[in-house]
A and B are shown apart, each in its own frame.
Chain A
Amino acid sequence: QKEVEQNSGPLSVPEGAIASLNCTYSDRGSQSFFWYRQYSGKSPELIMFIYSNGDKEDGRFTAQLNKASQYVSLLIRDSQPSDSATYLCAVNGYGTYKYIFGTGTRLKVLA
């Protein structure tokens, strides 16, 4: 079992719709959770982080964490073509600086 799993996609949604990206992780001791966006040919950039159960909202983005079920998700409201990218989930274990990344979900927002 991979430590951090994501559906590779592509996930296609029409412009203006809600895109839902999911991530599961295997280490119950994981403490912090991050969503990075990576455009083709570019480096990953942080969108959001979350470390408490529940929802965290930032503009059009909402991160959701459920530690009991070991999943974290990212919702993108009012999706725009400019949101088309690969979204990487990263998990940070307790007492360590290292992230474990998922392989990413490719999102395509159709105009």
Chain B
Amino acid sequence: DAGVIQSPRHEVTEMGQEVTLRCKPISGHNSLFWYRQTMMRGLELLIYFNNNVPIDDSGMPEDRFSAKMPNASFSTLKIQPSEPRDSAVYFCASSLVVGGDNNEQFFGPGTRLTVL
């Protein structure tokens, strides 16, 4: 299995531009999570989906952020317009949740976003 795939791995853009991050979860997993990691705030959950449906988007910082999951194998996180304070590493993770207590999340390699 290729694991969780994210693209691009690095993104440098200018303030005000639209940024789209992409994620392909592990095949067969039914839950997908978008995180943001910074030195100051650590790893923060932005939004998660279960069976392609957004369940909790309370971590999305503001309306400039949006996420979609049109099918079980693809999700996007969009920032429009981007700002310098959005600079961070964005991780996508997926898991198979069928009840029980162990729902390990597998993380992708991350996208390092720099907004100038």
* Interface residue? A80 (CB, 8 A): no
Q: Which chain A residues (81-111) contact chain B, with CB distance < 8 Å? A: 88, 92, 96-104
Which of B95, B101, B106 touches A51 (beta carbons < 8 Å)?
B101
Assuming A31-B101, A32-B101, A97-B31, is B45 touching A44 (CB within 8 A)?
no
Instruction: Please tell me if the beta carbons of B91 and A43 are within 8 angstroms of each other in the complex.
Output: yes
- Asked whether A97 and B95 contact (CB < 8 A) given A31-B101, A32-B102, A43-B110, the answer is yes
Nearest chain A CB to B68 CB, angstrom units: 18
- Which B80-116 residues sit within 8 Å CB-CB of chain A? 91, 95, 97, 101-110
Question: For residue A71, which residues in chain B have a CB less than 8 angstroms away from its CB?
Answer: none
Q: Is the CB of A92 within 8 A of B103?
A: yes
Q: Chain A residue with minimal CB distance to B91?
A: A43
Verify A98–B56 contact, CB threshold 8 A. yes
Chain A's closest residue to B41 (CB) is A103
Describe B's contact surface by its main secondary structure: strand
Answer yes or no: A61 CB below 8 A from chain B CBs: no
The tally of residues in A whose CB lies under 8 Å from a CB in B reads 21
Residue pair A43, B108 in contact (C-beta under 8 Å): yes
A98–B45 contact, CB under 8 A?
A: yes
Q: B43's contact among A46, A51, A88, by CB below 8 Å, is which? A: A88
A51 / chain B contacts, CB cutoff of 8 Å: 101-102
The residues of B that contact A45 with a CB separation of less than 8 Å are 107
Q: What residue in chain A is nearest B6 (Cβ atoms)?
A: A43
Q: How far is B107's CA from A46's CA once the two chains are assembled, in angstroms? A: 9
> B residues engaging A (CB < 8 A)?
31, 33, 35, 41-45, 48, 50, 55-56, 91, 95, 97, 101-110
**24 A–B contacts, CB within 8 A, in A order:** A31-B101, A32-B101, A32-B103, A43-B107, A43-B109, A44-B43, A44-B107, A45-B107, A46-B104, A49-B104, A51-B101, A51-B102, A88-B43, A92-B103, A97-B31, A97-B33, A97-B95, A97-B103, A98-B48, A100-B45, A101-B35, A101-B45, A102-B42, A104-B42
